[in-house]
Structure 1
Amino acid sequence: MCSGGFAKCLGISLMPLAMVCVLCNILLFFPAGHTVDSEHITDEVWYFGGLLGSGVLMIFPALVFLGLKNNDCCGCCGNESCGRRFAMLSSILFAGVGVLGAGYSVIISAVAINKGPKCNINATTHDDWIYPFVDSNYLSDHIIWSKCVEPVGVVSWHLSLFAVLLVMGLSQMVLCAVQVINGLLGALCGDCCGAGSPDAA
């Protein structure tokens, strides 16, 4: 497969991952499916790791990768081969943006999972919203999840969505890193390494 076609496959893979990350970030604003006051939402949700990092910032490189196969750039004084090589080289910059965006999402997700959700621990007054698991190993001790009295099920909701963001972000970083290598090969060898024509599929 030529570098342009391979980049298109990477772009196709990145688009659904970005959509999933955006959806996860939106769902995190509704802990366990409940509507709560904004100050009761976990801080890391407001950092928009999935919405911006793995979402919006990932759409740009995905669109660039999708267009590389059919790129008809004529740069370098009308030399088509040179134009295609430049397009592949420029895709490395967008891949770098993708790595940074996904990396941001991964860091936010890891911090959120380690810290745990913000929840109410007082069933009587309903106004004691804290991070009850900051100093505990709640990931391996499910019994202490009962400290969160509301929203009901917020711990599993928090862990599940941030875990998805973490995995999606890591996957995006790998795909963008692969495009960096693919872009270098495309810039050095042309759209099809070993092919006699730059237009070869």
Structure 2
Amino acid sequence: MERKLRALDLTLVGMFVALMAIGANITSFVPFMVVGGVPITLQTFFAILAGAILGSRLGSIAMTVYMLVGLVGVPVFAKFGAGPSTIFSPTFGFIISYIFTAFIIGKIVEKKKSVTVYIIAAVIGMGVNYVFGTNWMYLAYKLWFTAPEGFTYKMAWLWMVVPLPKDIILAALAGIMAHRLERTVLSKGQFKNLKRVS
């Protein structure tokens, strides 16, 4: 039977919604996080942490709330985007993918809590983010958005090569960080049973 959301759960969901909003626009607050013209956004990083720290249920709820908050008009998406029209954006698939990313990572780490499992789960979650988001982007350009000249499926994936090394490193760091928190903070007190209800 599903348990109701506690005050602590709601607080953590709200915290991760805020972190996702900051991560989406980190270069607006910290301009030096642009390397070679490529912005180092932290949305995937925080989505991974949401699943690894909060678990499958609460992590996916947090990412769903983040998406809904943006869709109702709060500027929490990249470039402070918001509103229902963002559904038609070529990059909206990445926002949807954060829900699956958090859920899958949570399911994996709920079964075993070694640092290796956390890192593997984080990389798998990142892969889910890339596959879902890139395919959405390709379909968006082909079906309802104006595609660049000569746009192909291969080109869509080539675009993802640029942020890939950054995201792999951040995914591994997120896994390590979540494992450390599990060993210290999350295994004690009110946090003890936070992630174990699916």
Q: Which has the higher contact order (CA 8 A, sep 6+)?
A: 1
What range is the shorter-chain TM-score in?
0.3 to 0.5
Greater Rg over alpha carbons, structure: 1
Q: TM-score, normalised by structure 1?
A: 0.33
Q: TM-score, normalised by structure 2?
A: 0.34
